[in-house]
């Protein structure tokens, strides 16, 4: 019980520490005193530039992108009543980055800074809506995951096609960024363009979270205790689509964070989907900031992509969760 009570303060504290650590570490490590001075505007110009223009926005971008994925993952798991549901697994992230890539390929993204986040959100909503429609038609969770795999594969193939046809190496490297997910070179400007969507998605998901608890009983009994099932489906799909779209617009497709964070959080909140939302968001943000610190510190010639690292950690966790689940359900 006391452990559950420490969950939120602990996660908030750890998140702040991790973001601060992200400002300390890098190609030129900076002592804590200088980072603090830079954060509060009392350091020399070069320190301030490193902290405010490079390290802090990058850490914050990783954090909010992760938080949106954790929140969406927890909400989709509640809606589909399945611990394996997640924007990445269900193909939502992949189709968001596909549509975003389209807008890059055809040069639409250059028209307005809003085009890219909107494109990502449209992609995310299409996939989420498909999954939600399939969820009504089929009660089988395996089928849903397979449909997600199908959507992911299709989006991946379409992206490969676009890469094949990419007119310049420049566009090509842009696209790779979207496919693999990265928060390198993000500025507050980009965070600002994703922020309204991240916030809107979060507000929708948090406002409708009580219905996710009701769905614990299954759809039939949930309607019986007073849940408006249709409304709940629409709100969760919309919220998760918008939040995931915002996250993809900021950081590209990053998988599995949305599965790992809720899974760790659940025992601390009594396995209640509604209460898992906020801690899942905080933990997923924390995980991505830590993973991004790892990416930056790893002594490789080409910087690893954040999404690659997340998948390297997350995919085995996904397999583990899936195998344990089978054992439980016989």
Partner 1 sequence: MAELCTHGLSVEAGNQRLVDGASIRLVPGEFVALLGPNGAGKTSLLRASLGLEKKVIGRATIDGSDTAALSPMQRARHIAYLPQQRPLAWPNTVRDVVSLGRYAYGAAPGRLSAEDAAAVDAAIARCDLTALAQRQTDTLSGGELARVHCARAFAAEAPLLIADEPVAALDPRHQFRIMDIIADFVAAGGGALVVLHDITLAARYASRMIWMKQGRIVADGAPEETLTAARMAEIYGVQARVDGRRVEIEGAV
Q: Please pick, from the candidates 215, 261, 290, 295, the single residue that binds partner 1 as defined by CB under 8 A.
A: 215
Between CA 76 and CA 74 the distance in angstroms is 6
Does residue 218 touch partner 1 according to CB under 8 A?
yes
Cβ at position 221, least distance to partner 1 in Å:
5
Does residue 275 touch partner 1 according to CB under 8 A?
yes
Between CA 316 and CA 231 the distance in angstroms is 35
Token pair of 24 as six digits: 């300390």
Does residue 213 touch partner 1 according to CB under 8 A?
yes
Does residue 2 touch partner 1 according to CB under 8 A?
no
Q: Please pick, from the candidates 143, 173, 271, 320, the single residue that binds partner 1 as defined by CB under 8 A.
A: 271
Does residue 322 touch partner 1 according to CB under 8 A?
no
Site for partner 1 in 76-115 (CB under 8 A): 81-82
Q: What is the dihedral of CA 264, 269, 273, 277, to 10 degrees?
A: -70
Phi-psi region of 91 (alpha: psi -120 to 50; beta: other; left: phi over 0): left
Distance set, CA 323 to CA 83, 85, 193 (Å): 12, 15, 39
Does residue 159 touch partner 1 according to CB under 8 A?
no
Does residue 262 touch partner 1 according to CB under 8 A?
no
Q: What is the dihedral of CA 26, 28, 29, 32, to 10 degrees?
A: -100
Does residue 223 touch partner 1 according to CB under 8 A?
yes
Q: Is the CB of 34 or the CB of 209 nearer to partner 1?
A: 209
Q: Are 209 and 75 in contact (CB under 8 A)?
A: yes
Q: Are 317 and 107 in contact (CB under 8 A)?
A: no
Residue 187 phi/psi, 5° resolution? Answer: -120, 170
Contacts (Cβ under 8 Å, ≥6 apart) of 129: 237, 241
Does residue 174 touch partner 1 according to CB under 8 A?
no
Q: Please pick, from the candidates 113, 150, 192, 224, the single residue that binds partner 1 as defined by CB under 8 A.
A: 224
Q: Is the CB of 113 or the CB of 224 nearer to partner 1?
A: 224
Q: Is the CB of 131 or the CB of 274 nearer to partner 1?
A: 274
Cβ at position 17, least distance to partner 1 in Å:
28
* Listed ranges 11-19, 103-111, 214-222, 315-323: which one lies at the site for partner 1 (CB under 8 A): 214-222
CA nearest neighbour of 245 among 287, 199, 306, 212: 199
What is the size of the binding site for partner 1 (CB under 8 A)?
Answer: 25
Distance set, CA 91 to CA 35, 88, 97, 275 (Å): 39, 5, 10, 25
- Helix 229-251 with 115-137: angle, nearest 10 deg: 140
Contacts (Cβ under 8 Å, ≥6 apart) of 6: none
CA nearest neighbour of 36 among 20, 22, 25, 50: 20
Q: Please pick, from the candidates 88, 91, 273, 285, the single residue that binds partner 1 as defined by CB under 8 A.
A: 273
Does residue 216 touch partner 1 according to CB under 8 A?
yes
Q: Is the CB of 104 or the CB of 235 nearer to partner 1?
A: 235
CA nearest neighbour of 89 among 130, 36, 16, 150: 150
* Listed ranges 57-65, 96-104, 188-196, 270-278: which one lies at the site for partner 1 (CB under 8 A): 270-278
The mark string for 225-244 relative to partner 1 (x by CB under 8 A, - otherwise) is: xxxx----------------
* Listed ranges 100-108, 161-169, 273-281, 290-298: which one lies at the site for partner 1 (CB under 8 A): 273-281
* Listed ranges 22-30, 43-51, 156-164, 206-214: which one lies at the site for partner 1 (CB under 8 A): 206-214
| Contact set with partner 1 (CB under 8 A) | 81-82, 210, 213-218, 220-221, 223-228, 266, 270-275, 328
């Amino acid at each position: 019980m006391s452990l559950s009570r420490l969950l939120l303060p602990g996660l908030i504290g750890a998140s702040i520490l991790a973001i601060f650590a992200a400002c300390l570490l890098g190609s030129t490590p900076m002592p804590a005193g200088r980072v603090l001075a830079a954060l509060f505007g009392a350091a020399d110009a070069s320190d301030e530039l490193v902290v405010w223009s490079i390290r802090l926005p990058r850490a914050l971008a990783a954090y909010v992108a992760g938080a949106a994925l954790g929140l969406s993952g927890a909400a989709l798991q509640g809606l589909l009543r399945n611990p394996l549901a997640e924007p990445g697994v269900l193909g939502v992230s992949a189709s968001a980055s596909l549509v975003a890539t389209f807008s890059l390929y055809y040069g639409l993204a250059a028209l307005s800074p809003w085009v890219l986040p909107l494109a990502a959100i449209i992609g995310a909503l299409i996939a989420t809506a498909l999954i939600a429609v399939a969820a009504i038609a089929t009660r089988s969770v395996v089928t849903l995951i397979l449909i997600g795999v199908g959507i992911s594969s299709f989006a991946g193939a379409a992206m490969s096609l676009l890469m094949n046809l990419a007119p310049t190496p420049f566009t090509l490297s842009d696209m790779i960024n979207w496919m693999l997910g990265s928060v390198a070179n993000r500025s507050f400007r980009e965070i600002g363009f994703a922020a309204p969507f991240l916030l809107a998605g979060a507000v929708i998901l948090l406002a409708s979270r009580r219905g996710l608890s009701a769905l614990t009983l299954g759809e039939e009994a949930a309607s019986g205790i007073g849940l408006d099932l249709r409304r709940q489906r629409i709100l969760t799909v919309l919220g998760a689509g918008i939040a995931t779209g915002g996250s993809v617009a900021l950081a590209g497709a990053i998988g599995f964070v949305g599965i790992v964070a809720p899974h760790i959080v659940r025992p601390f909140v009594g396995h209640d989907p509604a209460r898992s939302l906020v801690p899942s968001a905080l933990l997923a943000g924390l995980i991505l900031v830590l993973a991004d610190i790892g990416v930056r510190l790893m002594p490789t010639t080409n910087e690893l992509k954040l999404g690659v690292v997340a998948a390297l950690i997350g995919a085995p966790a996904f397999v583990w969760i899936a195998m344990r689940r089978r054992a439980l359900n016989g």
